[in-house]
Amino acid sequence: MIAAPKVRKGAVIVYPTDTVYGIGCDPYNDDAIESLLRMKGRENSKPMPLLCSSIMHAERIGKLDDDARKLANRFWPGALTIIVKLNDYKISSKVTGGKDSVGIRVPDHPCALKLIEACGGVLVGTSANRSGSPSARSVDEVMDSIRGFDILIDGGKTRGIESTVLSVMDHNITIVREGAVKRKEIEEVLTYDV
């Protein structure tokens, strides 16, 4: 993938995922992350999710306990972001918002997976829109919302349903945001109510 070397050198990229368009950069590069935050008009203290190209790369970044692993095996690749304890402390604190946790997922989109793998298996994957604006489902919506990125990959229109965000910390499971994966589906995997 021709964009990957540029991303590894600090470029900010907009790319399609299985949910909405994402904007990302190298999660170890503070300067790239600061640029991305400025583009979104977002404060530094709010964590951003990381998209991974495989469960193996996700486990390198975060600690998946038994519940998180069950969910990952069922819903990845797919639209479930799982917040777990941070495993890789080289990840910029600007990504984690200074917390000891990280949101990770493996998207179900061939272009996104190829890009992420070419970038080393992990990429910042927050929505490609100004903070507080609706998530972008197409390149036109991206262009209407955000400017200043270095690379844009046009993958056509996305599904437009954001990922479900689930916190799986210390045997405490909380739905932070219900999106494409529904509560009932999560409960069926875990065999108890969340």
What pLDDT sits at residue 96?
96
> Hey, is 8 helix, strand or coil?
helix
DSSP, collapsed to helix, strand or coil, labels residue 59 as: helix
Task: Count up the domains in the chain and report the number.
Answer: 1
Give me the CATH number covering residue 130: 3.90.870.10
Query: Encoding tokens for residue 6?
Result: 């540029």
Which H or E run includes 28? none
Residue partners of 146: CB distance under 8 A and separation at least 6: 14, 23, 39, 40, 128, 129, 130, 136
CA separation (Å) from 30 to 84, 105, 160, 193?
Answer: 22, 21, 29, 39
28-64 pLDDT, tens digit each: 999 999 999 999 998 777 899 999 999 999 999 999 9
> The whole model's pTM is what?
0.95
Tokens of 83: 């917040």
Strand partners, 84: 102
**H helix intervals, the chain:** 4-8, 30-40, 55-61, 66-75, 93-96, 110-118, 139-145, 183-190
> Which range of residues forms the domain containing residue 125?
4-190
The full length of the chain comes to 194
Q: Which positions of the chain have pLDDT values less than 70?
A: 1, 192-194
- For residue 77, say if its preceding peptide bond is cis, omega within 30 degrees of 0: yes
Please tell me the predicted confidence (pLDDT) of residue 191: 80
Q: Which of 103, 99, 122, 102 is nearest to 112 (CA)?
A: 122
pLDDT tens per residue, range 153-169: 999 999 989 999 999 99
Residues sharing a CB contact under 8 Å with residue 192, sequence separation 6 or more, in sequence order: none
